[in-house]
């Protein structure tokens, strides 16, 4: 209890003295939102480097799935669940530890920095990571310990991913497409099974958490405190088979090179089509409940992943807006980042 009160005091101190930073911190919070990755990952895949996009997509999905599982395991409250003094600048219905924003920031920006290998970019990445974590404390949705845990776990995941990628990516690339898709499904199950088990057998929420969260925010309980809703984890798990199947089908034929006009044309075609796919599949998720609803969410995410990794690149080739000259070698023209090489 003493530790909890100390952390509540830290949140209140930050909100009392630095609340004026909220508009700026909202920008850093956005970099951890699903919408940011919905924009960033296809942009990188289609206009910078398919190889980088593939690895970032897999890394973010695995990291996010692990984060959701750990939240269910630790079962800790958010600041506004336990103190009405905390200003509810935003809400999030899941458990608190570890911070998903902090963890995903380390993985996303850390991986790009590891590939770009430029000191200035690494410095920018560190600042984004730090401010993203701080923004969650300022918003009243995380304790400092949640953010530190997110940074730590994100670093472990990032190092493990880079190490395993260097060791096994060549072997995976040489596999038959069906086997590659099977590997993606297996990775998806690694996310799904533990989360489903912890959600099914999770302990009930203390009534005082629900009362405090709803009183302080003035919002319904299902909006501000609904930690056993697995829609985010299910979506992350579903993306993996979609990406895996799409990349296996495309087989490295797509080039993200070409002129700026070609790259913008890909975004002009691919993004609206992706939004249309999302809108058309949304009724499947909103009209279904229970197991059927989770299955629909999984399917929707898989379709989106397949569009990004396979269908959209094929369409770009048909329309003649893929990278000029086919597969390209090292350099800015090939990938947009010097030193990143497409496969």
Letter string b/e over residues 142-166, b meaning 16 or more CB atoms within 10 A of that residue's CB: bbbbbbbbbbebbeebbeebbeeee
Instruction: Please tell me the predicted confidence (pLDDT) of residue 1.
Output: 58
pLDDT at 331: 36
The 10s digit of each residue's pLDDT in 276-317 is: 999 998 888 776 677 788 889 999 999 999 999 999 999 999
Residue-averaged pLDDT of the chain? 89
Q: Output the pLDDT for position 324.
A: 58
Contacts of 266 by beta carbon, 8 Å cutoff, 6+ apart = 46, 47, 312, 316, 321, 322
The pLDDT score that the predictor gives to residue 335 is 46
Delimit the domains of the chain by residue range.
2-335
DSSP string across 28-91: HHHTTSHHHHHHHHHHHHHHT-HHHHHHHHHHHHHHHHHHHHHHHHH----HHHH-TTS--SS-
pLDDT at 340: 46
Listed in sequence order, the DSSP H helices in 75-143 are 79-82, 100-116, 119-138
pLDDT for 338: 41
Reading the block at residue 244, the tokens are: 């895996």
Confidence at residue 285, expressed as pLDDT on a 0 to 100 scale: 79
Q: Residue 342: its pLDDT value, please? A: 39
Task: Provide the pLDDT for residue 9.
Answer: 93
Low-confidence ranges of the chain (pLDDT < 50): 326-343
Residue 247 has what pLDDT?
93
- Give how far Cα 307 sits from Cα of 32, 170, 242, 257, Å: 22, 24, 8, 19
pLDDT of res. 288: 64
In angstroms, the CA 312 to CA 45 distance is 10
Return the exposure string of 28-51: e unless at least 16 CB atoms fall within 10 Å of the residue's CB, then b.
bbebbeeeebbebbbbbbbbbbbb
What is the Cα–Cα distance from 217 to 224, expressed in whole angstroms? 8
The whole-model pTM stands at 0.89
């Amino acid at each position: 209890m003493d530790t909890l009160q100390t952390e509540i005091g830290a949140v209140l101190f930050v909100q009392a003295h630095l609340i004026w930073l909220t508009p700026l911190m909202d920008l850093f919070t956005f970099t951890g939102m699903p919408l940011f990755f919905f924009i960033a990952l296809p942009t990188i895949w289609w206009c910078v480097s398919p190889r980088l996009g593939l690895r970032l997509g897999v890394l973010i999905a695995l990291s996010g799935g692990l984060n959701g599982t750990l939240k269910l395991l630790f079962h800790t409250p958010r600041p506004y669940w336990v103190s009405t003094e905390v200003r509810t600048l935003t809400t999030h219905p899941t458990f608190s530890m570890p911070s998903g924003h902090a963890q995903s920031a380390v993985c996303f920006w850390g991986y790009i920095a590891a590939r770009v290998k430029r000191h200035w970019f690494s410095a920018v990445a560190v600042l984004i990571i730090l401010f993203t974590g701080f923004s969650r404390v300022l918003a009243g949705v995380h304790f400092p310990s949640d953010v530190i845990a997110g940074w730590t776990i994100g670093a472990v995941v990032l190092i493990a991913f880079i190490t395993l990628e260097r060791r096994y990516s060549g072997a995976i690339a040489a596999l038959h497409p069906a086997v590659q898709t099977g590997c993606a499904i297996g990775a998806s199950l690694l996310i799904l099974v533990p989360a489903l088990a912890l959600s099914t057998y999770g302990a009930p929420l203390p009534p005082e958490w629900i009362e405090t969260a709803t009183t302080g925010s003035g919002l319904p309980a299902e909006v501000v405190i609904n930690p056993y809703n697995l829609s985010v984890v299910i979506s992350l798990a579903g993306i993996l088979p979609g990406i895996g199947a799409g990349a296996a089908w495309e087989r490295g034929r797509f080039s993200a090179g070409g002129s700026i006009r070609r790259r913008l044309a890909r975004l002009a075609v691919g993004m609206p089509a992706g939004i249309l796919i999302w809108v058309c599949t949304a009724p499947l998720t909103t009209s279904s409940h229970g197991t059927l609803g989770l299955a629909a969410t999984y399917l929707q995410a898989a379709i989106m992943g397949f569009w990004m990794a396979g269908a959209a690149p094929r369409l770009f080739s048909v329309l003649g807006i893929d990278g000029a000259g086919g597969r390209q070698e090292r350099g800015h023209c090939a990938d947009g980042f010097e030193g990143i090489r497409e496969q």
